[in-house]
Structure 1
Amino acid sequence: MHQNRTQGEFALNQEELASFHAQGYFGPFKVYEIEEMKASWRRERLRLLDRSNAVYQDEAASSGNTNISNYDRHLDSAFLADHISRPQIVDRVGSALGPDVLCWRTEFFPKYPGDEGTDWHQADTFANASGKPQIVWPEAEEFGGTITVWTAFTEANEDTGCLQFIPGTHQTMFYDETKRMHYDPKLINQADKDGVRRGFFGYDYRELQIDPDWKPDESKAVSMVMRPGESIMFWSTLMHASLPHNGKSEDMRLGFASRYVPAGVRVYPDTNEIDEYGGRVSLDRYGAVLVSGKNEYDYNRIARSTTTGHAFTTR
């Protein structure tokens, strides 16, 4: 695992870095003031309804009926492009990954009143839904996965469906991503799992378990209660889930996840499309964003900043 640290204002100190490596997560920490985040989201949510410059224009993505429609809006939104590069985030991520860092994906995670929680899961190569590895670390590295920075755009608590972690579980994979889950949208909001209504966007993540009889030790789970504008960073291989939105509040819970890897990691190798969650999109306009350091590799699609009113271009 990388131990290199950046020296930015928000870089993790040695104690914080040791805690991150031991627990698999760090935070929550403030990226925006609460009122700043609320005002920004009131403004940006209207702008994001316009998908005319979104990189995924395929019918499946534009319809909004697949989770892919929430991917990579930082490539056409100036606000989200700024967000993924904020020093409050990048300095901390670089503390663990080293100086040369790519943001390879972003996703919105909305949870409306009555929505189910998310299954306990881990992700190493992100082949869990597509069947193809989406990130591949150099063979010399002993560790895979990505660092996810999950930012609360709204209140995230145990009523609205906050994240849950099982600390220290990031060093052992309990799931086999080479297996295939079976997509069925009829599963959404239907399954009760050990007393909690959970699912995985039309999949059942338990299908990937290495041991079919194994269960995560939920007695060790901790809930990540977060205010608007707060972020938390964690290894994608950390056992994580979310609670259901119990409907006590009429407000949507919205999280925005940005995912980071060292520049030497291969992103979407040997594929020109994403096929998962009941949708398919072309990667023709996709590009990873260099948020720190330099890129000395020629095998990844890299997005470039633009001054034409769009956030990035890959052409």
Structure 2
Amino acid sequence: MGDTTVRGAYSMSPEELKSFHTQGYFGPFKVYEIDEMRQNWRRERMRLMDRGNAVYRDDAASSGNTNISNYDRHLDSAFLADHISRPQIVDRVVSVLGPDVLCWRTEFFPKYPGDEGTDWHQADTFANASGQPQIVWPEAEEFGGTITVWTAFTEANEDTGCLQFIPGTHETMFYDETKRMHYDPSKINQEDKDGVRRGFFGYDYRDLQIDPAWKPDESKAVSMVMRPGEAILFWSTLMHASLPHNGRTEEMRLGFASRYVPTKVDVYPDTDEIEEYGGRVSLDRYGAVLVAGQNGNPRNRIATATTTGHAFTTR
């Protein structure tokens, strides 16, 4: 996978690609200067409080009681629309996925002082919460998943709840996404799992384990410490989690994840809504964004501009 004939200023070298394919992740790498990112976030956090132009305006999303409220703000924010197409990101994604690439989803991941960490998990079709596949690769492909680029908008370290990876776990799925998890918001911030306070936004990700007795080998876990403006690129099938925010600082940890697939992948097939995390929203205003190359897949709905008319950039 990948097309080394398509080169950009930030394309991955053969050595970097080899490491990525072995480890399942690449980075951290710089997308913004530290002060630049801090200034951007001070400005944008106030603008994003206005959900008037957001694509998901149903009560379930706009109430803030469900993780869906953090989805796809690049579809109404000019700053985030430009972010998903930055060459520092797209050049590296193209190195892995090939020349024709969609950004199909973005998500904010805030972690406030005292918040629990996130369970170890993997995602292939992203059916983990709803039971409905959200991305489907062609049948000829042996494996699926998405490339996630997780950008630190604030400090991300072991005190504030940074990401953790178990390198090399991206080619074997330890979870069955066809199983259903039971949503129970009372589970949030309640349970210590193997000595670490972790959860999954009201679910217990262990419900999806293929072998109920299996446990991730946390002795191999690597913490992804990032400064504001740095990013990490990884397969969604890589075993990943996050630490809890221990409250030693009052600063929240904020990550912004942009998710990419080749255009041949079907996005939200055979569905007109997202139902998960105790909420439900319509996809009637949704569109994937072509960030590189050409789209030869007529089954995917495509957005060419934000809801406020800001055009997306295709590289």
Corresponding position: 1:67 with 2:64: no
Corresponding position: 1:3 with 2:14: no
Tell me what 1:229 maps to. Answer: 229
**Change over 3 Å in CA distance of 1:221–1:299 after alignment to 2:** same
List structure 1 segments (4+ residues) > 3 angstroms apart after TM superposition.
306-312
TM-superposed deviation, 1:101: 0.2
Corresponding position: 1:190 with 2:190: yes
RMSD (Å), alpha carbons: 1.0
- Contact 2:75–2:307, Cα closer than 8 Å, also in 1: no
Corresponding position: 1:106 with 2:106: yes
Q: What does 1:158-307 align with in structure 2 at a 5 Å threshold?
A: 158-305=158-305
TM-superposed deviation, 1:4: 1.7
Provide the secondary structure at the position in 1 that maps to 2:99. Answer: coil
Tell me what 1:82 maps to. Answer: 82
- Contact 1:152–1:256, Cα closer than 8 Å, also in 2: yes
Q: How many residues align?
A: 311
Q: Tell me the amino acid that sits aligned with residue 165 of structure 2.
A: F
- Name whichever of 2-11 and 102-111 sits farther off: 2-11
- Contact 1:74–1:311, Cα closer than 8 Å, also in 2: no
2: distance between equivalents of 1:26 and 1:89?
A: 11
Q: Tell me the amino acid that sits aligned with residue 28 of structure 1.
A: P
Provide the secondary structure at the position in 2 that maps to 1:89. Answer: helix
Provide the secondary structure at the position in 1 that maps to 2:22. Answer: helix
TM-superposed deviation, 1:297: 1.2
1: distance between equivalents of 2:296 and 2:180?
A: 34
TM-score, with length taken from structure 2: 0.97
- Contact 2:156–2:226, Cα closer than 8 Å, also in 1: yes
Q: Tell me the amino acid that sits aligned with residue 274 of structure 2.
A: I
Q: Tell me the amino acid that sits aligned with residue 187 of structure 1.
A: K
Provide the secondary structure at the position in 2 that maps to 1:304. Answer: coil
The C-alpha deviation readout for 1:44-86, integer Å capped at 9, x for no partner, is: 0000001000000100101010000000000000000000000
Corresponding position: 1:16 with 2:19: no
TM-superposed deviation, 1:308: 5.1
Q: Percent identity?
A: 84
TM-superposed deviation, 1:306: 5.8
TM-superposed deviation, 1:309: 4.3
The C-alpha deviation readout for 1:5-46, integer Å capped at 9, x for no partner, is: 330000001000010000000000000000000000000000
- Contact 2:54–2:307, Cα closer than 8 Å, also in 1: no
